[in-house]
Amino acid sequence: MPRDRAFAQVDVFSSEPYRGNPVAVVLDAEGLSDTEMAAIANWTNLSETTFVLPPTDPGADYRLRIFTPSRELPFAGHPTLGSAAAWLDAGGVPLSDGEIVQECGAGLVRLRRGGATLSFAAPERLRTGDLDEAYVSEIADALGVERTDILGHQWVDNGPGWAAVRLASAAQVLALEPDFSAIADTKLGVLGAHPDGSEHEYEIRAFVPGVGVAEDPVTGSLNASVAQWLIGAGLAPTSYTATQGTALGRCGVVSISAEEDEIWVGGATTVCFRGTAFA
């Protein structure tokens, strides 16, 4: 039987409200079926909608299920930060001081607060290594660039299925007008370096036509796994920021920090709407 459930909508990865990536959060999702969650996520039509449930792991503060308009994901970054922000805003109290533990399809994900930001410890990648050369050529065609313009490529899959390619510059990334009709199921990150002396290290774009979102404004999971690739290969410093969403009129900034053997991914969060969902 439908009832009122606590609900929030959170803007993630921008210090300017409504300039990051929104996530819808149903804070009291117990009793909703998979079909009902999928229908709600399809209706909100955001890149992700999340559902907060009691944990099954005794070490977790809550359990999170994450849906795109077309399917469920085991993990995603901006929904992780946005859901934690909504949970805290609604009065959630972590089991441990200074750390929040989220249970999700990818296992346990640790989060921490720092001033006005939240960050998560990047989960292990499920797939790494170079892309197949035939796939790289297909990506070049879809992006409308020469194969030689792709300076590096890698599987950076931590759940959603990401692949990534590196171009020479942020300007080249921002100029892209891709056509993925030939590889419609791709989940692709494209990055390029900002000029020397810039405030931020990279511009990144995330193309996900296969899950019903042509381009995701700001993407925590992709930035997490790209950071693991770049820092591990010596292509980026151990602490940097990346911009995303510029091509969509957003103002996303993702902070990356490598600490010992962990990559932390963070950004600003703003709870923009509080209310109830009838579900």
Is residue 114 predicted with pLDDT exceeding 90? no
Q: Which CATH class is domain 133-249?
A: alpha beta
Q: At 211, is the pLDDT very low, low, confident or very high (cuts 50, 70, 90)?
A: confident
Q: Look up the pTM and report it.
A: 0.94
> What is the residue whose two structure tokens read 């296969």?
210
Strand 152-155 to 117-121 pairing:
unpaired
Tell me the mean pLDDT in the region 105-118: 92
Share of the chain above pLDDT 90, in %: 94
Q: At 251, is the pLDDT very low, low, confident or very high (cuts 50, 70, 90)?
A: very high
Query: Rounded to an integer, what distance in angstroms lies between the CA atom of residue 81 and that of residue 87?
Result: 10
Is residue 213 predicted with pLDDT exceeding 80? no
Number of Cβ within a 10 Å radius of residue 122: 24
Query: Rounded to an integer, what distance in angstroms lies between the CA atom of residue 236 and that of residue 45?
Result: 34
Which CATH architecture group holds 4-122+266-278? Answer: Roll (3.10)
Number of Cβ within a 10 Å radius of residue 174: 14
Q: At 105, is the pLDDT very low, low, confident or very high (cuts 50, 70, 90)?
A: very high
Residue 262 annotated among the catalytic residues of the structure: no
- DSSP letter string, 216-231: ESS-HHHHHHHHHHHH
CA-based R_g, the chain, Å = 18
Q: Residue 260: what pLDDT?
A: 87
> What is the residue whose two structure tokens read 């010596």?
234
246 in helix, strand or coil? helix
The catalytically annotated residue of 48, 103, 201, 203 is: 48
Query: Rounded to an integer, what distance in angstroms lies between the CA atom of residue 265 and that of residue 263?
Result: 7
Number of Cβ within a 10 Å radius of residue 272: 13
Is residue 228 predicted with pLDDT exceeding 90? yes
Q: Residue 1: what pLDDT?
A: 80
Contact 154, 134 (CB under 8 A): no
User: Count of residues for the chain?
Assistant: 279
Q: Residue 115: what pLDDT?
A: 79
Share of the chain above pLDDT 70, in %: 100
Query: Rounded to an integer, what distance in angstroms lies between the CA atom of residue 76 and that of residue 66?
Result: 7
How many Å separate Cα 228 from the centre of its chain? Answer: 14
Is residue 143 predicted with pLDDT exceeding 90? yes
- 159-171: pLDDT as tens digits: 899 999 999 999 9
- Per-chain mean pLDDT for the chain: 96
Number of Cβ within a 10 Å radius of residue 12: 29
Q: Residue 98: what pLDDT?
A: 85
88 in helix, strand or coil? helix
Q: Residue 195: what pLDDT?
A: 97
Which residues of the chain are in CATH 3.10.310.10 domains? 4-122+266-278, 133-249
- 255-279: pLDDT as tens digits: 999 998 899 999 999 999 999 999 9
Is residue 73 predicted with pLDDT exceeding 90? yes
